[in-house]
């Protein structure tokens, strides 16, 4: 329970400060702490992300920091994809979920590395630009990926928002939390409908109420106290924290899959 508490504090911090849901931390580490299988962990992570992202979205919206012109189209499209992704996730093995998670983490590391080495003139402040509802079709792909492995919504969405300059910097994390709520809600419903064959249902949620209470409470408290610091996080620090976190998670996933680096790259 102590490690689950610490994990929850970390998830709340990255969600409030960096605009990612925390599933990228929950999905790799919860199996070792709880003994749950990958499908149970994904469903549980989605439940935690849903509650935390809703609280963050409510707070950020009160501060008028949410780009609703993007979220009102991107969120529902991502939710459609996440419902489908969760449906297929239940029908694949835990190893497939790990591989999908590995793919997301590697993709993010490559993207952040390329962004870091861009020319200085390309590192201008993000400005709202040529947003159009048709572009929300990308949300379907992101939602599907997130629904399958329980992570990636905030990471991939924010990457798209940054690279295309669809959301200004100060609204990046608030809008990302809105996307996470749409996706996690839709995915969680999908798991509850189709997941009984993988021991993922309301009975599992009932049996894990202690873990849920500890995680929910620690995530909420961490997010609550750290949200006001979000506008003060510099771009450089944001990228550094994300990059270090992703590299650490990458090595942990490889270790959990019993893959050494030589074997992985061969």
Q: Whole-prediction pTM value?
A: 0.74
Give pLDDT, residue 83.
93
Give pLDDT, residue 260.
45
Residue (of 222, 238, 239) closest to 48 by Cα position: 222
Element housing 18 (H / E):
helix 2-18
| Beta strand spans in 171-216 (E) | none
Give pLDDT, residue 80.
92
Give pLDDT, residue 236.
72
pLDDT in tens, the chain (266 residues): 888 899 889 888 887 777 666 777 787 788 888 888 878 888 888 888 888 888 888 988 998 888 888 888 888 998 999 999 888 888 887 777 778 777 777 877 777 677 666 644 444 433 444 556 667 777 888 888 778 876 656 666 776 776 667 777 778 778 888 888 998 899 888 888 888 766 777 777 778 888 888 988 998 888 888 878 877 777 677 777 777 777 777 777 777 676 544 444 44
Q: Which two tokens stand for residue 44?
A: 């549980």
Residue (of 187, 192, 188) closest to 142 by Cα position: 187
User: What total of structural domains would you count in the chain?
Assistant: 1
Rounded Cα gap, residues 52 and 61, in angstroms = 14
Give pLDDT, residue 198.
67
Rounded Cα gap, residues 30 and 211, in angstroms = 10
**Three-class secondary structure assignment of 122-179:** HCCCCCCCCCCHHHHHHHHHHHHHHHHHCCCHHHHHHHHHHHHCCCCHHHHHHHHHHH
The residue segments making up the domain with residue 123 are 2-265
User: How would DSSP label each residue in 72-116?
Assistant: HHHHHHHHHHHHHHHHHHHTS-HHHHHHHHHHHHHHHHHHHHHHH
Give pLDDT, residue 152.
59
Rounded Cα gap, residues 209 and 215, in angstroms = 10
Rounded Cα gap, residues 87 and 250, in angstroms = 25
Give pLDDT, residue 244.
77
């Amino acid at each position: 329970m102590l490690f689950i508490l610490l994990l929850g504090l970390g998830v709340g911090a990255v969600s409030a400060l960096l605009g990612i849901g925390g599933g990228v931390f929950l999905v790799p580490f919860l199996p070792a702490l709880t003994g749950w299988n990958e499908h149970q962990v994904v469903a549980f992570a989605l439940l935690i992300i849903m509650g935390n992202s809703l609280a963050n979205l409510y707070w950020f919206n009160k501060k008028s920091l949410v780009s609703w012109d993007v979220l009102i189209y991107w969120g529902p499209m991502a939710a459609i994809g996440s419902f489908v992704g969760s449906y297929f996730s239940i029908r694949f093995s835990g190893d497939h979920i790990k591989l999908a998670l590995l793919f997301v983490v590697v993709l993010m590391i490559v993207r952040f590395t390329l962004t870091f080495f861009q020319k200085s003139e390309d590192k201008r402040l993000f400005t709202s630009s040529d947003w159009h509802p048709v572009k929300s079709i990308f949300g379907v792909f992101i939602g599907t990926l997130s629904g399958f492995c329980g992570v990636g919504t905030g990471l991939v969405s924010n990457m798209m928002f940054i690279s295309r300059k669809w959301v200004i910097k100060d609204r990046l994390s608030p809008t990302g939390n809105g996307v996470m709520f749409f996706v996690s809600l839709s995915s969680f419903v999908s798991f509850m409908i189709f997941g009984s064959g993988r021991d993922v249902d309301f009975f599992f949620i009932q049996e894990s109420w202690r873990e849920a209470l500890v995680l929910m409470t620690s995530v909420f408290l961490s997010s609550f106290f750290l949200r006001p610091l979000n506008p003060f996080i510099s771009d450089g620090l944001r990228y550094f924290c994300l990059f270090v976190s992703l590299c650490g998670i990458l090595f942990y996933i490889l270790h959990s899959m019993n893959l050494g680096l030589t074997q992985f790259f061969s």
